[in-house]
Amino acid sequence: MNKKEILEIRKQFSPENCAITRICGCYVDGDKEKKMEFKEAFLSLPEEESFKYFDIFKKTLSGTIGKNLIHMEFPLEQELAGGTQESLLRLKESKLQDDILLEEFYDKVIEFYDFGEHYLILLIHAVYDIPGKSTDGMEMFDASDEVYEHILCCICPVAMSKPGLCYNAVNNSIEDRVRDWVVGMPANAFLFPAFNDRSTDLHHLMFYSKKPEELQDYFVANVLGCSEAISAGTQKESFQDILVSTLKDDCDYSVVRTIHENLNEMIEETKDAPEPLTLGKQEVKRLFTASGVPEEKMESFDKDYDETIGRQTTLLASNIAETRKFSVKTPEIVVNVNPDRADLVDIQVIDGRKCLVIPIDEEVEVNGIAVNAK
């Protein structure tokens, strides 16, 4: 799913576009015990309550693709009879009206979801009548030829509200506020099936994680059965590892800086593309070569890439690049530079010592105080 497709589904979580038919939920305490369950037609909910649910659902389709939003694929074995894809299909096709299927799903989530506190499992079923589009990109709502039927599961932490004082209008007094359990924004969620090329894609789903480094691998493997996803942090570490193993003991500063500059330039050139920029083995190889990595250093690149990252694994460019800063560290000093001006920092030997050299053309501030740098 690209940005436009995600936004198209996200727009359905509003009163004027609502395609949700049913909502179900299961509240689980910190001991993995079910405390309550509910199920009802979504359109029967009070207006104020439905608005709060819309906020939760919208959150599951927000964030950065490749970081918070992970496109996951079902391995072939999970698409066979008895696989996780079949279980999710049965749940979707039941329109969340089969109590046995719901209980099986709740039990599976509770067994494999790693969360030591209270949480709410929310499930919705929705049917989106996909409008056709004219050649100029305008939607034609009377030209639909496909329906996108899907389920969305949100797992929301439930925490006790903070203690405090409040104003009691009845007694006209300030008093201790009553604490209660509050449902928070989702920590994880998934949309099944995926909405790719503005059509139903049963081979994929979209997974959401509030914290990009906490992808709930155990849950993903056992409940969703999808191919293991590589977190943003792991992608960055893997890219750094392959760079270090390629350059070995000759990890030249100018080469690393050039790779940073070239990578950010590639991201800038593709920022308006519908799909985020990804780099496979050959793209990383070309990046290294174009950035000045010596040919002799590239001899073992293919082998190192396969072992470190994986032959077929691609890396999201925004996960491996530093687009907000260019950082140079020594044991005592940290220098952060605008990523577009990494060329301002250089390493030179002066009077026999290696030095960080930063040219100064304008005023300099020390702790907010303008100083004379002449």
**Average pLDDT in the chain:** 89
Cis bond upstream, residue 193 (ω within 30): yes
3-state secondary structure 284-353: HHHHHHHCCCCHHHHCCHHHHHHHHCCCCCCEEHHHHCCCCCEEEECCCCEEEECHHHHHHCEEEEECCE
How crowded is residue 194: how many other Cβ atoms within 10 Å of its Cβ?
Answer: 24
Q: Which two three-digit tokens encode residue 234?
A: 């792991």
Which residue(s) pair with 166 in the sheet? 175
C-alpha 339/C-alpha 343 separation (Å) is: 9
92 has a pLDDT exceeding 70: yes
Provide DSSP, 177-238.
PPP-EEE-S-SEEEEESEEETTEEETTEEEEEESSTT---HHHIIIII-PPPPPPHHHHHHH
Instruction: State the pLDDT at residue 219.
Output: 93
What local confidence, expressed as pLDDT, does residue 372 receive? 77
Judge contact between 123 and 24, C-beta under 8 A. yes
Across residues 346-352, what is the average pLDDT? Answer: 89
- Residue type present at position 228: E
- Assess whether pLDDT exceeds 70 at residue 139: no
**Phi, psi (rounded to 5 degrees) for 197:** 55, 35
Q: What is the pLDDT of residues 161-206, one digit of tens each?
A: 888 998 989 999 999 988 889 999 999 999 999 999 999 999 999 9
pLDDT, residue 196, reads 93
- pLDDT, position 135: 59
Q: Domain limits of the chain?
A: 3-228, 233-320, 326-371
In three-state secondary structure terms, 63 is: coil
Confidence band of 214 (pLDDT split at 50, 70, 90)? confident
Residue 167: which H helix or E strand, with range? strand 165-168
Could you tell me which residues come within 8 angstroms of residue 114 by beta carbon, excluding any fewer than 6 positions away? 216, 218, 219
| Per-residue confidence (pLDDT) for residue 144, from 0 to 100 | 66
pLDDT at residue 10, rounded to an integer: 94
Which two three-digit tokens encode residue 236? 């960055």
pLDDT digits over 271-287, tens only? Answer: 888 888 889 999 999 99
Mean pLDDT of 127-156: 80
> What local confidence, expressed as pLDDT, does residue 98 receive?
95
Structure tokens at 214: 């906490």
**What share of the chain has pLDDT > 70, as a percent?**
96
Burial class (CB in 10 A: 0-12, 13-18, 19+), 338: exposed
- If you average pLDDT over each of 97-101, 230-234, 266-270, 279-283, which comes out highest? 97-101
Q: Provide the token pair at 87.
A: 């279980």
Buried/exposed code over 277-308 (b: 16+ C-beta within 10 A; e: otherwise):
bebebeebbebbeebebeeebeeebeebbeeb
**What pLDDT sits at residue 61?**
94
Question: Would you say residue 228 has pLDDT above 80?
Answer: no
φ, ψ of residue 129 in degrees (nearest 5): -80, 100
Between CA 93 and CA 143 the distance in angstroms is 25
3-state secondary structure of 46: coil
Mean per-residue pLDDT, 280-302: 89
Cβ neighbours of residue 329 under 8 Å, at least 6 residues apart? 335
For 187, other C-beta atoms within 10 Å of its C-beta total 18
pLDDT, position 142: 60
pTM: 0.80
Q: pLDDT tens across 34-83, in order? A: 999 999 999 999 999 999 999 999 999 998 888 899 999 998 899 888 89
Q: What is the mean pLDDT of residues 232-255?
A: 85
Between CA 89 and CA 232, with CA 219 as vertex, the angle to 5 degrees is 110
